[in-house]
Structure 1
């Protein structure tokens, strides 16, 4: 990542823009017309999410100790192939811990700006307090701030770079990470078994116990012109698997469904799970990493926590040999996660252009 220098322009905090009382957003945040959210469509999908169209909701409880529940396994299999997203309840993570994590980080983003600026990040690692992705000068920006922190491997996890205030933030975030890693290991077993592979296949391919994990706390301030911008542009996640703790009071995540965008209605105390590009590659596209984005809200701020469970950065990731046949050849070349993620860290979120560009051409 040493090729990435500092930000090409002075960093502006979106929260500060929002709190200044502006009635129109700066031009840098106005998306091209083709990328803007459709208010009519979004309103319809929000209503549908209350009882109609929504990502699958799955009770994970029966699979926490063993993988004998074929009905639930099959529901996850279908969700991974069809949606690339699903919500889970009864997942084994403490609801009280989830709530405390949310409240502490909300308090962080409402600290005075000078206290947050101590943790300002750079594109060299993205670790810390940030307000943009990508280093292209003059790029369109998203309406959101964030805090990015490393969790695994241990040598990358420097808690001194995590917020010292609120006072218990580091301790609670550490416990949250412990419980999320435990949950991810269960999900990796499920995903492996559903592919017809050994339980530990995906975990071992990621590096066994020597994997990567990091978290991005997203803060989306109120926006006076939500029809012109996005909280986070359309993208598929470059890593392995993402566990999202969403704000169940303020929907904002949208998942691409064909030519439409479905606004996810989060269930209280649930996690949203989505397949990342690395697992799409390993599954030889049996599982889909699907485009998603975040819409802005004119009246309420929104907070979410994306926990990324990734391969060890220097391991080659390629389609599992058990899933490669003469009828279905390997769709992707071997590549390390370090090589792969340089794309989004340089260019910012760009739909599924990275993983699709790697596909081998179909034989004539």
Structure 2
């Protein structure tokens, strides 16, 4: 079965690998891949047309700055997919790039089934995108329970709720089990603080400085702690350079199993807003969510209609996790909040209760990859 796939983000690459493995199991056929993806899809045989990080851009400024190159990559990707004559095209997240590829492929091959995995946040801003996708996207695989209903209301493509792969991840479940079994540490005990500045270069660049200043504040306030900093290979050097002068040197983690051990040991976390927020919530690790937008994005904030940017908050329906943006990413505040999160306080307990609600809401009868594969095969059978 030849499948075309486009995945830019690390999280999308993992979703794609999950889906492809499930497609092989359910169909009994070997899947041959063509398109763009990262290390997880490449491990399944994909020879990526180019490095997937090239399309993992966040922020209006980054997209405008790289627009000529992005347009060239869109044309290149669409042409390669049309030439390969796959049975299906699956685009994963990265909507500004992936959906443009999908539209070009549809123009050349209107008979080719097209699936988009991870519903664009039409419920948060630019709701008109839902109807705009309908002519060239046949089906959307949704991670959040409320998204299929939103797509119907906005006259978008049909959607299937498949849940999130994290809710059935054995490593994450083991980390959550250890977290819940371990009593919170007393005030004087040495703590473990997770620092997660993101997987995109722009995110890492913007957040390492305030996170480093928060670490200094905590040290100045008399705390002893270890810093655990899981990251991904393509920003490893950037992380090493950005943390070189921190008063407490972080242990930089690249190995996946070591990352989950760090999650099991963590007392609290400072994190970039994104998929990792859901990982932390399901692992039951209290945290603060931070993000710094670029100047152009700040001008568009009035277009955002959703009440929260954090997935745990949207799923639970109330502000489980505190969020800090731009000038409100203040180290003095974050340090004091971290003190409340890593000890036995009402703040910590409230987050833990919210995380339990998130896990319950994301529960599905089967793992998300299996449900996603069933939806894809159902579409192909038609």
TM-score by length of 2: 0.28
Structure of higher RCO (CA pairs closer than 8 Å, 6+ residues apart)? 1
Which structure dedicates a bigger proportion of its chain to helix? 2
Normalised to the residue count of structure 1, the TM-score between the two structures is 0.29
Rg (Cα) greater in structure: 2
